[in-house]
Amino acid sequence: MAILFMSAPMDGDFRYSDASRHALNGAFYLDAISHFPWQDPIGYAEKYYQRYPALTILFYPPLMHLSEAAFYAVFGVSHWVAQLTVSAYYLLGAFAAFYIARLWLLPLQALATTIVFIALPEMALWGRQVMLDIPALAFLLWCFYFLFRDIREPHPKWLYLMLMAFVLGLYTKQTIAFAAPVLFAGAWLSRGKHLLTDRHAWQALLIAAIATLPLIAITLKFGGFNAVSVAQGDGLGDHSQLDLGFYLAALPQQAGWLLPILAACSVIWMAIRRQSLLPRKELAVVLLWFIVGYVFFSAIRLHATRFDLPILFPMVLLAMLWLNRIFPHGRANAIAVVMAVGMFLTTLAWHPVPSVKGYKQASDVVAERAATASTVLFSGHQDGTFIFNIRAHENRSDLSVIRADKLFFKVNVSRAYGMDVISNPSAEDIALLLDESNIDIVVSEPGFWLDQAPMRTLSRVLNDPARFRIVTRIPIDARVWKSKGGETELVIYERIGQVGTDPIAHPKRKIELPIIGRTIGNS
């Protein structure tokens, strides 16, 4: 796990747009706990967004971000600490995977199964980015471990622990809700009809239901966009058909060819030989885990290979159990070790994590040159990456950031989801707006949204030598994932003349948030 951690991007070079926002959300909770704005928490959050307009606390459950806040409190706010938080959950999930495998395999084979699982290309990709998928999966794995223990030796503690892990997982990422019917089926297999009259089962369920009420309320109020994106995909195509083949076709990319083939062979072998690799109740849970998850994620019209991470473990488990069954003990051990080492090394060598350099370096220049209590204008693709890196400069907590797209457009997350032009100001109007907003430094990608008239006008203002001078140009270096159109360099401009000292209170600092139907800031 330490090797995977050390191979992750950790120098402010987030590539996936949500990753930098998850890192920033943790910083928000740290700051909120520090300032404890109990009299006006909503106002505090709005002002925070005005300063760091990449905050997404309303759209995701808080547990992972609160965990980040705890790590930040100890080690400081930085990319590597955010990644350390994810890696801690990665390790937690690895322990759960080991204990599940240990139920049926000897220690060496269980360890090999765990290494194969955590080193899968798809697992290692998202385990080395600041995302919610691995932390949520860690809790889900513990859910199933407690369920298997309950099937073997029914006891109220396993039900309580299972539902506790499930609730914690929901507070990390709601998509693990797919496991609810599987967990119920497993509990029924364990207790039969007595489950319906089990006082502890009802108490555990009631506690879990009450514990999830705040999450349900927040999701219903602010999760509209997530619900739409889940139901409709990218919002641009025909979503009337269920695609059951997407994740099947993705398995070789996620795990290579060998493991899916071995898992399929294990199922065929059991069907032909009429033998089970596991006790039948436990096998039923493993198969339901995969099947229900597969159908659930296929039914979601927004398909991405990271979504089905929760169903990769039963596939790995079946593959390794079958090898253990068909080969003699010593040979099975050797094969398991070779597979574990091979998967780990090939993932490290051939599956690097996407990253993009340049935005952290731009934030360093800004932190060094920006006037006290001034505002930085950012115009570019990776706004979350730049904004988090500004927040990570603890000695420049006086700085604020404005996104150029928020000045001129009402954007539903990204252009793909639609946007409206708020205004089409003249060069003089933009110059006045920048003056009044105390803009001292501008960080701009030269080609960003130049198909839009307001952005072309902004470009003319920035390149007016009477108003701004170019400080430096920083190349953008994208690794693995290619740069977006125009994302080749960052140009840092410095305003000619002095700026004011109160950007937050300025009456023109308002931001449209069409996703939640709010406008924040002064009007």
Q: What residues does each domain of the chain span?
A: 58-350, 356-521
> Exposed, middle or buried, 271 (CB in 10 Å: 0-12/13-18/19+)?
exposed
Q: Over 70: is that where the pLDDT of 503 sits?
A: no
Q: Over 60: is that where the pLDDT of 316 sits?
A: yes
What pLDDT does residue 232 have? 41
Q: Identify the band that residue 278 occupies on the pLDDT scale cut at 50, 70 and 90.
A: very high
Return the bridge partners of 403, or none: 378
- Please work out, in degrees rounded to the nearest 5, the angle formed at the alpha carbon of residue 417 by the alpha carbons of 414 and 421: 70
Q: Over 70: is that where the pLDDT of 187 sits?
A: yes
What pLDDT does residue 512 have? 59
User: DSSP letters of 6-72?
Assistant: HTS--SS---SHHHHHHHHHHHHHHHHHHH--TT-HHHHHHHHHHHSTT--TTSS-SHHHHHHHHHH
Least confident of 140-144, 422-426, 467-471: 422-426
- Reduced to 3 states, what is the DSSP secondary structure of residue 459? helix
| Closest of 186, 135, 140 to residue 159, by C-alpha | 186
pLDDT digits (tens, 9 = 90+) for 336-346: 999 999 999 99
Give the relative orientation of helices 329-350 and 107-118 as an angle to the nearest 10 degrees: 20
Q: What sign does the dihedral 249-255-260-263 (CA atoms) show?
A: negative
Return the bridge partners of 400, or none: 375
Q: Over 90: is that where the pLDDT of 492 sits?
A: yes
Least confident of 313-317, 388-392, 478-482: 478-482
Rounded Cα distance between 401 and 375, Å, is 6
Rounded Cα distance between 101 and 118, Å, is 13
Rounded Cα distance between 195 and 202, Å, is 9
Residue 340 CA neighbour count, 13 Å, CB half? 17
Rounded Cα distance between 202 and 209, Å, is 10
| Closest of 479, 409, 498, 378 to residue 51, by C-alpha | 378
Q: How far is CA 29 from CA 38, 211, 498, in A?
A: 13, 20, 33
Least confident of 171-175, 309-313, 322-326, 435-439: 435-439
What pLDDT does residue 480 have? 76
- Reduced to 3 states, what is the DSSP secondary structure of residue 172? coil
Rounded Cα distance between 408 and 481, Å, is 29
For the segment 153-176, the average pLDDT, to the nearest whole number, is: 97
Q: Over 50: is that where the pLDDT of 318 sits?
A: yes
Residue located via tokens 């930040």: 72
Return the bridge partners of 280, or none: none
Least confident of 83-87, 274-278, 482-486: 482-486
| Closest of 263, 314, 259 to residue 284, by C-alpha | 314
For the segment 447-473, the average pLDDT, to the nearest whole number, is: 95
Q: Report the share of the chain in percent with pLDDT over 70.
A: 89
Q: Report the share of the chain in percent with pLDDT over 90.
A: 79
Q: Identify the band that residue 482 occupies on the pLDDT scale cut at 50, 70 and 90.
A: low
What pLDDT does residue 499 have? 65
pLDDT digits (tens, 9 = 90+) for 9-35: 999 999 999 999 999 999 999 999 999
Q: How far is CA 231 from CA 228, 235, 241, in A?
A: 5, 9, 12
Q: Identify the band that residue 500 occupies on the pLDDT scale cut at 50, 70 and 90.
A: low
What pLDDT does residue 486 have? 58
Least confident of 82-86, 94-98, 475-479, 490-494: 475-479
Q: Over 90: is that where the pLDDT of 459 sits?
A: yes
The answer to whether the CB of 454 falls within 8 A of the CB of 423 is yes
Q: Over 60: is that where the pLDDT of 274 sits?
A: yes
Q: Over 50: is that where the pLDDT of 424 sits?
A: yes
Rounded Cα distance between 244 and 230, Å, is 15
Q: Identify the band that residue 301 occupies on the pLDDT scale cut at 50, 70 and 90.
A: confident
Q: Identify the band that residue 485 occupies on the pLDDT scale cut at 50, 70 and 90.
A: low
For the segment 461-490, the average pLDDT, to the nearest whole number, is: 86
Q: Over 70: is that where the pLDDT of 483 sits?
A: no
For the segment 356-377, the average pLDDT, to the nearest whole number, is: 96
- Reduced to 3 states, what is the DSSP secondary structure of residue 395? helix
pLDDT digits (tens, 9 = 90+) for 237-250: 334 456 889 999 99
Q: At residue 107, what are phi and psi to the nearest 5 degrees? A: -55, -45
Give the relative orientation of helices 312-326 and 79-102 as an angle to the nearest 10 degrees: 40
Least confident of 109-123, 128-142, 376-390, 485-499: 485-499
What pLDDT does residue 484 have? 57
Q: CB within 8 A of 58, min separation 6: which ones?
A: 218, 222, 516
For the segment 430-448, the average pLDDT, to the nearest whole number, is: 92
Instruction: Give the chain's mean pLDDT.
Output: 90
The answer to whether the CB of 99 falls within 8 A of the CB of 158 is no
Residue located via tokens 């997350």: 413
What pLDDT does residue 220 have? 82
69, two tokens: 């806040």
SS3 content of the chain, % helix, strand, coil (to 5): 60, 10, 30
